[in-house]
């Protein structure tokens, strides 16, 4: 059994590395297939016990040809290196291998695993790191056992596989200490990302345009956008205030219209913000109208930071991560990060009263332009609200009518020649972009300045983590119109409520998802973002706690007494060793007093039972006289019994020898 297992232990390092690389999402499915092919072929050869030694030269030339082909195709340094290492692993696995070749396999597997360590920052890496550590310990233990057992003349002890857990735990402890102590370095590398979720027209997510034409069905997208972490413990009232303030998160404002396509413009004013600092953050509780939150913003291709629509917002960017204004009045990172970044914000829910200047001239003309083939919105609005109405009344009336339509991601009007007309007159079903576009165009046709806003709805509350989770599934579009009476921009969301469900639903699967996301968030926040500042903060915490301990120092008298007591004990120990002699040996135990010999006792109890007062060695010697062909094994068993009984040695090997001897007696009758 051990020999059969040993053949497959060498396959562990490359296979574990392949699993880690697959979980990282770095390489394409075609590249992963190329990587797995040599390992699959090696497994088939191992299972069939085929001998391919005579093809060794052809395999080596094939590996060289594969390397040259990849260089000629210019697929990149990293994929070429990884593919070549997998090919070499496959060749090494199908050829005869001794200890040096097995160590080479472990080294190549480690180099392949480093690709995952460099390219991913997700919590999945922790799982694969544990699996890799355990696998490497298993391989090293087996190789050490083989080397030691080859030197022995007697029956080999079983491989110490139980020590894998101890070695793995020790490696984790050592790695944790190095993680806490060593200087921090952040590379932020990610080679060859395979696609970006949320950008294609068939996947839910934020977009910097709204295009109704040629839209097919939209699939879900659970890619995380941000987590909203309140800066205080919430009761029911405070939680309701937060949810009201963060109900809609603005991403980008679309004012340009070309046909039925909404676009972001660079001259769109940014929503009102105020300058906030760390000092304001510390004093936020002194202002009842201020709400503080930390946005843990995930990387996104646009670098856009979704911010609340309510009141005034005061972002406090972290050091080294300045903000800038982008197209569509959006707020973006100056240099987008490849890791989640925390952004503290203060929200003034009751800003001082003020008026926004009414759009005039070219800006008013732009905000009331209706584009081509949009007359259906005017005809529809006149059927719903024919009389003259205020901007607020007209918007509420039209939005109420739209909310009676059906919400669907199937986009039944996406392939029509005029999607807007088909949506309003035939299907009356669509997703948020149809509802927002229809309302904004209807308001513009009636002379009300209006625009579409793309952003997110506030996601579900994750009780296990203490935050709201926003994914690309919460991507949303709504309308802002200018209320000439109030001289302010107003929000109108005409989209009906989507079907209930998702991660916030009260199901067992949803609860598991919430726990998983909470663990993933703690990994991102406390592991991936662990920096030199955190190290200094931890050291300061230790120093503060140490300084708070009572300053107790022993008096001179106590120190002298303790020193004299220690000197007396050391002298007494030396005298006992010199004049006390060795302790009396333990009385010999009979075979029935040694549990490890029970398998042998069961087979010999009938014809060779131990005599009263007979020692284990004497009994085994009597067995050897009766069975001369087993004298060598029985003599070794007697020596091992003495080592366990008098030398304090562990009885694992003795149990193994006793079982082997019991089988020998059984075979020979």
Domain ranges of the chain: 2-181, 209-499, 591-668
Task: Grade residue 551 by pLDDT with cuts at 50, 70 and 90.
Answer: low
Mean pLDDT of 170-180: 76
**What was the pLDDT predicted at 500?**
47
Query: Residue 413, Cα to own-chain centre: how many angstroms?
Result: 39
- Return d(Cα 624, Cα 63) in angstroms, integer: 58
Query: What DSSP designation does 114 have?
Result: H
Exposure string for 24-34, b = 16+ CB within 10 A, e = fewer: bebbeeebeeb
Residue 40 has pLDDT above 90, yes or no: yes
Mean pLDDT value of segment 339-343: 85
Of the candidates 325, 196, 328, 330, the one whose C-alpha atom is nearest the C-alpha of residue 262 is 328
Candidates 164, 159, 162, 157; CA nearest to 138 is: 164
Q: What is the pLDDT of residues 590-647, one digit of tens each?
A: 777 777 787 777 777 667 788 877 888 888 888 888 888 888 888 888 888 877 776 6
How far is Cα 631 from Cα 410, in angstroms, rounded to an integer? 83
Instruction: Give the pairing type, strands 429-430 and 406-407.
Output: parallel
Cα separation, 112 vs 92, whole angstroms: 15
Give the DSSP letter of residue 630. G
Alpha-carbon span 432 to 425, nearest angstrom: 17
Per-residue model confidence (pLDDT) at position 589: 57
Tell which wins on pLDDT, 196 or 232: 232
Range among 112-126, 518-532, 535-549, 601-615 with highest mean pLDDT value = 601-615
Share of the chain above pLDDT 70, in %: 82
Indicate whether 197 pLDDT > 60: no
- Listed in order, strand segments (DSSP E) in 550-641 are none
Q: Tell me which residue has tokens 């790695």.
A: 175
Which two three-digit tokens encode residue 522? 């703690």
Q: Are 328 and 253 in contact (CB under 8 A)?
A: yes
Rounded Cα distance between 250 and 495, Å, is 16
- Strand residue runs (E) in 402-519: 406-407, 429-430, 450-457, 461-462, 467-471, 475-483, 488-492
The mean pLDDT of 24-38, rounded to a whole number, is 85
Tell me the C-alpha to C-alpha distance, in Å, between residue 424 and each of 239, 401, 438: 37, 11, 8
Question: Looking at 58-62, 466-470, 572-576, 601-605, which range is the least confident one?
Answer: 601-605
CA pair distance 481, 391, nearest whole angstrom: 8
Averaged pLDDT for residues 358-380: 92
pLDDT of residue 631: 81
The confidence band for 534, taking pLDDT boundaries of 50, 70 and 90, is low
Percent of the chain with pLDDT over 90: 30
* Number of CB atoms found within 10 A of residue 282's CB: 10
Mean residue pLDDT across the chain = 81
> What contacts 256, CB < 8 A, 6 or more positions away?
262, 263, 264, 265, 366
Mean pLDDT of the region 246-264? 93
Indicate the pairing of strand 341-348 with strand 312-316: antiparallel
- Kind and range of the H or E run holding 379: helix 375-384
Q: DSSP letter at 318?
A: P
């Amino acid at each position: 059994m051990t020999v059969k297992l040993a053949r497959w232990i060498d396959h562990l390092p490359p296979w574990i590395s392949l699993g880690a690389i697959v979980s990282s999402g770095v390489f394409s499915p075609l590249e992963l297939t190329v990587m797995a092919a040599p390992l699959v072929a090696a497994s088939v050869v191992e299972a069939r016990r085929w001998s391919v030694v005579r093809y060794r030269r052809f395999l080596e030339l094939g590996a060289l040809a594969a390397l040259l082909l990849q260089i000629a195709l210019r697929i990149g340094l990293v994929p070429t290196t990884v593919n070549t290492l997998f090919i070499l692993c496959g060749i090494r696995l199908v050829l005869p291998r001794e200890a040096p070749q097995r160590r080479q396999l472990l080294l190549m597997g480690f180099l392949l695993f480093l690709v995952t360590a460099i390219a991913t920052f997700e919590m999945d890496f922790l799982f694969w790191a544990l699996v890799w550590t355990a696998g490497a310990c298993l391989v090293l233990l087996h190789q050490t056992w083989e080397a030691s057992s080859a030197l022995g003349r007697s029956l080999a002890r079983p491989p110490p596989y139980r020590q894998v857990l101890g070695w793995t735990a020790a490696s984790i402890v050592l790695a944790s200490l190095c993680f806490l102590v060593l200087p921090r370095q952040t590379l932020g590398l990610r080679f060859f990302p395979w696609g970006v979720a949320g950008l294609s027209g068939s996947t839910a997510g934020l977009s910097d345009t709204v295009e109704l034409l040629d839209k097919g069905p939209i699939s879900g997208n659970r890619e995380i956008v941000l987590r909203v972490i309140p800066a205080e413990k919430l009761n029911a009232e405070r939680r309701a205030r937060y949810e009201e303030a963060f109900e809609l998160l603005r991403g980008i404002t679309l004012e340009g219209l070309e046909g039925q396509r909404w676009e972001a413009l660079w001259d769109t004013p940014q929503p009102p913000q105020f300058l906030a600092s760390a000092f304001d953050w510390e004093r936020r509780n002194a202002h009842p109208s201020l709400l503080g939150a930390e946005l843990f913003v995930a990387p996104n291709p646009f670098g856009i930071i979704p911010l609340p629509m309510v009141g005034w917002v005061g972002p406090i960017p972290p050091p080294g991560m300045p903000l800038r204004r982008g197209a569509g009045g959006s707020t973006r990172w100056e240099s987008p990060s490849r890791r989640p970044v925390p952004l503290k914000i203060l929200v003034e829910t009751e800003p001082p009263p003020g008026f926004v200047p009414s759009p005039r001239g070219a800006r008013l003309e732009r905000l009331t332009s209706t584009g081509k083939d949009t007359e259906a919105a005017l005809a529809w609005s006149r059927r719903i609200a024919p009389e003259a109405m205020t901007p607020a009344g007209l918007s509420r009336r039209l939005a109420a009518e739209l909310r009676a339509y059906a919400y669907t991601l199937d986009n039944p009007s996406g392939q029509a020649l005029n999607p807007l007309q088909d949506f309003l007159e035939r299907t009356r079903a669509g997703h948020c972009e149809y509802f927002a576009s229809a309302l904004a165009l209807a308001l513009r046709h009636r002379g009300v300045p209006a625009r579409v806003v793309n952003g997110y709805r506030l996601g579900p509350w994750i009780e296990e983590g203490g935050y709201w989770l926003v994914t690309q599934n919460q991507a949303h579009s709504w309308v802002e119109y200018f209320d000439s009476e109030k001289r302010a921009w107003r929000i109108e969301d005409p989209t009906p409520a989507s079907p209930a469900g998702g991660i916030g639903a009260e199901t067992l699967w949803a609860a598991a998802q919430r726990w998983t996301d909470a663990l993933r968030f703690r990994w991102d926040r406390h592991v991936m973002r662990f920096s030199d500042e955190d190290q200094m903060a931890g050291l300061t915490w230790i120093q503060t706690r140490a300084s708070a301990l009572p300053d107790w120092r022993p008096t001179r008298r106590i120190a002298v007494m303790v020193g004299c007591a220690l000197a007396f004990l050391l002298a007494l120990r030396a005298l006992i060793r010199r004049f006390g002699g060795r302790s009396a040996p333990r009385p010999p135990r009979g075979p029935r007093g040694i549990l490890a010999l029970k398998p042998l006792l069961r087979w010999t109890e009938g014809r060779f039972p131990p005599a009263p007062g007979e020692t284990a060695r004497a009994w085994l010697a009597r067995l050897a006289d009766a069975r001369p062909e087993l004298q060598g094994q029985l003599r070794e068993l007697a020596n091992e019994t003495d080592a366990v009984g008098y030398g304090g040695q562990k009885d694992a090997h003795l149990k193994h020898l006793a079982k082997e001897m019991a089988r020998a007696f059984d075979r020979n009758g």
